[in-house]
């Protein structure tokens, strides 16, 4: 499908509300919404059949493994996974090999994503050189590059040194960019592979206490306050983190936070089998944390859902639990899980899904062409969701080059059926259009 195609989405319920409407897209923009529209001659029709039309999803936290581990994911395969998941923009984390701590790498990631053309792949720059936590990376140069880096993170590692974090926050506010923190006090997680609690104790697994996350969330909230900067918390996983973010907001601190689909759905009871697919950072917590994360997301204390899509090779996952690399696939299953954990129980309506999957992430990172209203004159970044489509996840059939999905064999009730990136149909009938 070329960018110049005219597309008619026939009979979609915008934000899942009201009567079905037709949405006409010309030249990458929405040009008309209604029924019995005047149509141009050449128009490619997508039969929506009353499905839910949402603004294209934005993922603030994706790991594509290019450069360095192209055997586990490439910008191309990850873009396909993203489009299938309904994403029109993703932020590719900096923990590649080499690390994305220079403009050469960040520009490459952006350019390669544009070449593939399925989703905007925005590079995340490293906060510190080599993610080593010692010396600030050249943030300004990366921000000024073609990749126009808007977010910096040492994700995979915590910026643990409070002085380095303070400098990064000060620097980020003068550059107008976002620092995203992987909140993990490393002194509290030496050797940790699982949530510190009764399950890990019984299974003999070394525990990662909630305080390892929460102490950094609290510290960084205070550092952001003093620097007059914004800070974003990656993959919030505990009830205490929700409380701290709420407290900090109440103080007027510019803190935002994301939660992953896996932390919304799974808890540490999954570890009983010692299957490495369940190892992730931060670890799966307890059912009470899962409930608090859902409630925090419903109330807007947690701003958005971010996948932390983390592909890993079979040999790095199918091994002893404590040797398995942490991380789970997320892009292709995120919407289904948000529907199951938030929409079905009545915690979010479809407007809420648009907020947490598209509008808030775009706002947080300052993307002006994403998370926009579905309205005439707006860029046609759109996702069509079938809210009554039962499907079973088959990990080997996912577009990702890796298969480490903890959701394998699970059945969900909703699915992305079509995605449009600036009017270009990237997914149709649940299949990537190349």
Ligand X SMILES: NC(=O)N[C@@H](CC(=O)O)C(=O)O
Residue 182 makes contact with Zn ion by CB under 5 A? yes
The yes or no reply on residue 155 touching Zn ion (CB under 5 A) is yes
By a kind-dependent CB cut-off of 5 to 8 A, residue 403 interacts, out of Zn ion, ligand X, none, with none
Work out whether 326 is an interface residue with ligand X (CB under 6 A). yes
- Report whether 331 belongs to an annotated binding site: no
> Which residues, including other chains, have CB under 8 Å from residue 403's CB and lie 6 or more apart?
314, 329, 395, 396
Q: Which residues of 394-406 are buried (b: 16+ CB within 10 A; e: fewer)?
A: ebeebbbbbbbbb
User: Binding site annotation covers 281?
Assistant: yes
Pick from 126, 253, 310, 342 the residue near ligand X by CB under 6 A.
310
Q: How far is the CB of 146 from Zn ion (least distance, A)?
A: 24
In angstroms, the CA 107 to CA 221 distance is 31
308 is catalytic: yes
By C-alpha distance, which of 79, 115, 109, 113 is closest to 94? Answer: 109
**CA-to-CA dists, residue 139 to 145, 160, 170, 227, 246, angstroms:** 10, 18, 12, 17, 29
**6 annotated to bind ligand:** no
Q: What are phi and psi of 345, to 5 degrees?
A: -75, 0
Choose between 79 and 181: whose C-beta lies nearer to Zn ion.
181
Question: Annotation-wise, does 95 bind a ligand?
Answer: yes
List of residues 6+ apart from 129 with CB closer than 8 A: 99, 101, 135, 136, 137
| Phi, psi for residue 370 in degrees, rounded to 5 | -125, 160
d(CA 243, CA 211): 13
Residue with the shortest CB distance to Zn ion = 182
263 binds ligand X (CB under 6 A): no
Residue among 155 and 286 whose Cβ is closer to ligand X: 155
Closer Cβ to ligand X, 113 or 156, answer by number: 156
| Residue 280 binds ligand X, judged by CB under 6 A | yes
As measured in angstroms, the least distance from the Cβ of 206 to ligand X is 15
List 13, 63, 230, 424, residue binding ligand X (CB under 6 A): 63
Among 59, 220, 289, 308, binds Zn ion (CB under 5 A): 308
Q: Which of 77, 46, 51 minimizes the C-alpha distance to 64?
A: 77
Of 101, 154, 155, 286, the residue at the interface with ligand X (CB under 6 A) is 155
Q: Applying CB under 6 A, does 281 fall inside the site for ligand X?
A: yes
Q: Kindly tell me which of 405 and 417 has the beta carbon lying closer to ligand X.
A: 405
- 61 assigned ligand-binding residue: yes
> Residues touching ligand X: how many (CB under 6 A)?
11
DSSP assignment of 24-50 equals: EEETTEEEEEESS----SS-EEEE-TT
Q: Which of 56, 44, 52, 45 is nearest to 10 (CA)?
A: 45
Using left for φ > 0, alpha for ψ between -120 and 50, and beta otherwise, residue 66 falls in beta
Calpha distance 266→260 (Å, rounded): 10
- Smallest distance, Å, CB 329 to Zn ion? 12
Could you say whether residue 317 binds ligand X (CB under 6 A)?
no
Whether residue 87 contacts residue 56, with contact meaning beta carbons closer than 8 Å, is answered with yes
Q: Does 326 show up as a binding residue in the annotation?
A: yes
CA distance linking residue 343 with residue 354, whole number of Å:
12
Number of residues interacting with Zn ion: please give it, by CB under 5 A: 3
Question: Cα–chain-centroid distance for residue 426?
Answer: 18
CB nearer ligand X, residue 11 or residue 311: 311
101, 303, 308, 386: the catalytic one is 308
Nearer to Zn ion, 211 or 347 (CB): 211
Among ligand X, Zn ion, none, what does residue 84 contact (CB within 5–8 Å per kind)? Answer: none
Closest approach of Zn ion to the CB of residue 333, in Å: 16
Residue list 94-133, contact with ligand X (CB under 6 A):
95
**Backbone dihedral angles phi then psi of residue 205, each to the nearest 5 degrees:** -105, 140
5 annotated among ligand-binding-site residues: no
Is 327 annotated to bind a ligand? Reply is yes
Q: In what order do the strands lie in the sheet with 87-92?
A: 57-62, 87-92, 120-125, 151-152, 178-181, 231-233, 255-259, 304-305
- Residue 330 engages ligand X in binding (rule: CB under 6 A): no
Task: Name the minimum Å distance from CB 385 to ligand X.
Answer: 26
Instruction: Measure the CA dihedral 302/54/328/93, to 10°.
Output: -80
Binding site for Zn ion (CB under 5 A): 155, 182, 308
Numbered residues of the known binding site: 61, 63-65, 95, 155, 182, 235, 281, 308, 312, 326-327
Numbered residues of the known binding site for substrate: 63-65, 95, 281, 312, 326-327
Binding site for ligand X (CB under 6 A): 63, 95, 155-156, 182, 280-281, 308, 310, 326-327
Numbered residues of the known binding site for Zn(2+): 61, 63, 155, 182, 235, 308
Q: Please list the active-site residues.
A: 308
């Amino acid at each position: 499908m070329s960018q110049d195609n005219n597309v008619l989405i026939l009979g979609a319920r915008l934000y899942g509300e009201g009567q079905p409407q037709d949405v006409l897209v010309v030249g990458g923009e929405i040009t008309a919404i209604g029924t019995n529209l005047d149509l141009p001659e050449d128009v490619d029709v997508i039969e929506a059949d009353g499905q839910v039309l949402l603004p294209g999803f934005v993922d603030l936290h994706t790991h594509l493994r290019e450069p360095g581990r192209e055997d586990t994911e490439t910008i191309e395969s990850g873009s396909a996974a993203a489009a299938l998941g309904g994403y029109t923009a993703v932020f590719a984390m900096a923990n590649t090999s080499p690390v994305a701590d220079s403009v050469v790498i960040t520009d490459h990631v952006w350019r390669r994503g544009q070449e593939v053309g399925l989703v905007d792949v925005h590079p995340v720059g490293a906060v510190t050189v080599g993610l080593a936590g010692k010396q600030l990376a050249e943030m300004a140069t990366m921000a000024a590059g073609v990749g126009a880096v808007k977010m910096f993170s040492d994700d995979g590692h915590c910026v643990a040194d409070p002085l380095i974090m303070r400098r990064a926050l000060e620097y980020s506010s003068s550059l107008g960019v976002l620092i995203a923190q992987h909140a993990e006090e490393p002194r509290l997680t030496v050797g940790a592979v699982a949530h510190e609690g009764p399950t890990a104790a019984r299974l003999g697994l070394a525990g990662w206490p909630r305080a390892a996350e929460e102490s950094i969330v609290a510290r960084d909230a205070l550092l952001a306050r003093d620097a007059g900067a914004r800070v974003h918390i990656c993959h919030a996983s505990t009830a205490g983190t929700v409380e701290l973010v709420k407290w900090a907001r109440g103080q007027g601190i510019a803190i935002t936070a994301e939660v992953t689909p896996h932390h919304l759905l799974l808890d540490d009871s999954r570890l009983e089998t010692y299957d490495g697919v369940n190892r992730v950072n931060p670890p799966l917590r307890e059912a009470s944390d899962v409930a608090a994360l859902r409630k925090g997301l419903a109330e807007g204390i947690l701003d958005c859902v971010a996948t932390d899509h983390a592909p890993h090779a079979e040999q790095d996952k199918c091994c002893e639990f404590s040797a398995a690399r942490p991380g789970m696939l997320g892009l292709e299953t995120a919407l289904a899980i948000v529907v199951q954990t938030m929409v079905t129980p009545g915690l979010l309506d479809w407007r809420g899904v648009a907020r947490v999957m598209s509008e808030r992430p775009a706002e947080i990172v300052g993307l002006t062409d994403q998370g926009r209203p579905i309205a005439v004159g707006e860029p046609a970044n759109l996702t069509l969701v079938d809210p009554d489509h039962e499907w079973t996840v088959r990990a080997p059939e996912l577009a990702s080059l890796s298969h480490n999905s903890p959701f394998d064999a699970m059945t969900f009730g909703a699915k992305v059926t079509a995605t449009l990136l600036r009017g270009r149909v990237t997914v149709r009938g649940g299949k990537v259009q190349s």
